Copies of this chain bind each other. A is one copy, B any other.
Amino acid sequence: MTAQAAYRNLTDHFARIGALRAVSGILGWDAAVMMPGGSAEARAEQQAALDVAIHEKVTDPRVRDWLAAATAETPEAEANLAEIRREVAHATAVPADLVDAYARAANESEMVWRTARPANDFAALLPKLRVLLGLVRQMGQAKAEALGTSVYDALLDQFEPGGRSADIDVLFADLARFLPDLTEQVLTAQAKRPAPLPLVGPFPIPAQKTLGERLMTALGFDFDRGRLDVSHHPFCGGAPGDVRITTRYSEDSFFPAMMGVLHETGHALYEIGLPRQHRGQPIGLARGMSLHESQSLLVEMQVSRSLPFLTFAAPLIREAFGAEGPAWSAENLHAHAMQVERGLIRVNADEVTYPAHVILRYRLERALIDGSLDLADLPGAWNAGMKELVGITPPDDKDGCLQDIHWPAGLFGYFPTYTMGAMTAAQLYAAAQADVPTIPDEIAQGNFAPLLGWLREKVHGLGSTRSAKDILIAATGAPLSVAPFRRHLERRYLDA
């Protein structure tokens, strides 16, 4: 077998794996958007069989032989080989029956969570979550040995390749130093400003959907290769070349659904902009969750809650709901978009208080993984952490430790990527405006091409050909730091 043939065998093999992962993406979308409730058990069998089939392919003994024989003739091939090695290390660390048990336990736990959360019944979830956490720790230990990292970092690496908790500790400590004071200052400044004029509905859902579609189209979403639907938890899913986002609507308010659409559109634009020539290969995939979240937050937080964007969007919003008057000015919409409040719920949090929610989860999941916190003590630890970090105590578990799907779905090591994404978004958008100063003015005119072009060149089009760190340094001149995020918050919330 020549080195070229070995590399070709690898890329053929991983193209099939990529296609099966795309199938998994469609299946996941279907489960959240289309599947009838009674079909969940059958679906769990399907998803598990698909996961095992993918795992079998990644751990196929021939892959090791091909990796030993293959040489890279281009930098892209070199990066692809490195990604394949990383994937194989993750997968071979974990035996197939553990993968299978994890998939089933995650599905069962998630299903119980779906009823336990509205019932405020942590005790109902606890046994399922305990089984799942045990399997997660087993997986993490196996991966830690294979990767030469800590157990937590091995879990983190699944979502954030190369991410290390030692770096996160430093960044989150920086955040924790200034955010409490900043939050106080922001709330004080906000209290001195007049309250925004109310936006009075109802807002018919078909009109909200049409508005969302118009904004998505303006941003560059292609409806011939994607969809917008409804699900309980908004997400960006589907498959490469078939990117599907969801939102959820309330007739009482259009802002959450609109911002949800814009957030998921940020994710979608990243997926759509991935390098077409590498589709199906590991280097053709998005580069980790913090960069992914940076794209959604760049669109939602940096762009869509800015005055230039709302200058563009205000007439579309007025048209969608047949609204008029001063409440519907760009300035008043902007005032709504930047309301800050200490709240119980992470997904409803504004960008100022959001990091506190994430730091809480990061601390707790590290303790759950290293065994210093028992799951039975999670509600108490949660409430104490909320009091310390956000400044309020949840009245119940429903809006406390039961609020997120992540842990019941088996996702540990995921939460920190949200706030790393927020910081990355601030750093990228500052660099984009430094490179192309007309971006905000163009956005006010509804022209997103300069921004999208910059993102495609600096981020989207690179896929996983480089590390997240190298992508960020090349795009912004510096590794991830708290400073641009802090400047952004101070400028938006204190200089206003």
Interface residues of A (CB under 8 A from B): 15-16, 19-20, 22-23, 26-27, 30, 34-39, 41-43, 45-46, 48-50, 52-53, 57, 222-227, 239-242, 279-280
CB pair B53 A242 closer than 8 Å: no
Task: Identify the closest chain B residue to A226 (Cβ).
Answer: B36
Residues in B whose Cβ lies below 8 Å from that of A241: 38-39, 41-42
Chain B nearest CB: distance from A368 CB in Å? 31
CB pair B36 A19 closer than 8 Å: no
CA distance A50 to B20 in the complex (A): 6
Q: Is the interface of A mostly helix, strand, loop or mixed?
A: helix
Which has the most chain B C-beta neighbours within 10 Å: A46, A57, A225? A46
Supply 6 further A-B pairs (C-beta < 8 A) apart from A19-B45, A22-B46, A23-B49.
A15-B45, A20-B46, A20-B49, A34-B34, A45-B280, A46-B239
19 contacts between A and B (CB under 8 A): A16-B52, A20-B50, A22-B42, A22-B45, A22-B46, A23-B23, A23-B46, A26-B46, A27-B27, A30-B30, A34-B34, A36-B224, A38-B224, A38-B225, A39-B242, A41-B241, A42-B239, A43-B242, A45-B280
CA distance A408 to B239 in the complex (A): 26
Chain B nearest CB: distance from A295 CB in Å? 20
Task: Identify the closest chain B residue to A16 (Cβ).
Answer: B49
Copies in the complex: 2
Contact of A222 among B38, B42, B45, B57 (CB under 8 A): B38
Chain B nearest CB: distance from A268 CB in Å? 12
Residues in B whose Cβ lies below 8 Å from that of A46: 19-20, 22-23, 26, 239
CB pair A242 B23 closer than 8 Å: no
Contact of A36 among B27, B38, B225 (CB under 8 A): B225
Residues in B whose Cβ lies below 8 Å from that of A23: 23, 27, 46, 49-50
Chain B nearest CB: distance from A59 CB in Å? 14
CA distance A52 to B16 in the complex (A): 9
Contact of A20 among B22, B41, B53, B280 (CB under 8 A): B53
Q: A223 with B26: in contact, given A19-B46, A42-B242 (CB under 8 Å)?
A: no
CA distance A225 to B42 in the complex (A): 10
Chain B nearest CB: distance from A160 CB in Å? 26
CA distance A331 to B53 in the complex (A): 56
CB pair B36 A227 closer than 8 Å: yes
CA distance A23 to B242 in the complex (A): 17
CA distance A326 to B16 in the complex (A): 61
Chain B nearest CB: distance from A472 CB in Å? 29
Chain B nearest CB: distance from A115 CB in Å? 15
Chain B nearest CB: distance from A184 CB in Å? 47
CA distance A57 to B50 in the complex (A): 12
CA distance A95 to B35 in the complex (A): 35
Q: A242 with B22: in contact, given A16-B49, A53-B16 (CB under 8 Å)?
A: no
Task: Identify the closest chain B residue to A39 (Cβ).
Answer: B242
Task: Identify the closest chain B residue to A241 (Cβ).
Answer: B42
CA distance A279 to B22 in the complex (A): 26
CA distance A126 to B276 in the complex (A): 30
Task: Identify the closest chain B residue to A280 (Cβ).
Answer: B45
Task: Identify the closest chain B residue to A35 (Cβ).
Answer: B242
Contact of A227 among B34, B225, B240 (CB under 8 A): B34
CA distance A48 to B222 in the complex (A): 24
Residues in B whose Cβ lies below 8 Å from that of A26: 26-27, 30, 46
Residues in B whose Cβ lies below 8 Å from that of A224: 36-39
CA distance A42 to B49 in the complex (A): 22
Interchain residue pairs A-B with the least CB separation, the first 7? A42-B241, A19-B49, A39-B242, A38-B224, A38-B225, A16-B49, A19-B45
Task: Identify the closest chain B residue to A57 (Cβ).
Answer: B53
Chain B nearest CB: distance from A376 CB in Å? 34
CA distance A43 to B280 in the complex (A): 12
Chain B nearest CB: distance from A358 CB in Å? 33
Which has the most chain B C-beta neighbours within 10 Å: A23, A41, A224? A23
Chain B nearest CB: distance from A286 CB in Å? 16
Residues in B whose Cβ lies below 8 Å from that of A19: 45-46, 48-50
Which has the most chain B C-beta neighbours within 10 Å: A38, A39, A239? A39
Residues in B whose Cβ lies below 8 Å from that of A38: 222, 224-225, 241
Chain B nearest CB: distance from A44 CB in Å? 9
Residues in B whose Cβ lies below 8 Å from that of A22: 42, 45-46
Chain B nearest CB: distance from A40 CB in Å? 9
CA distance A222 to B27 in the complex (A): 21
CA distance A272 to B249 in the complex (A): 33
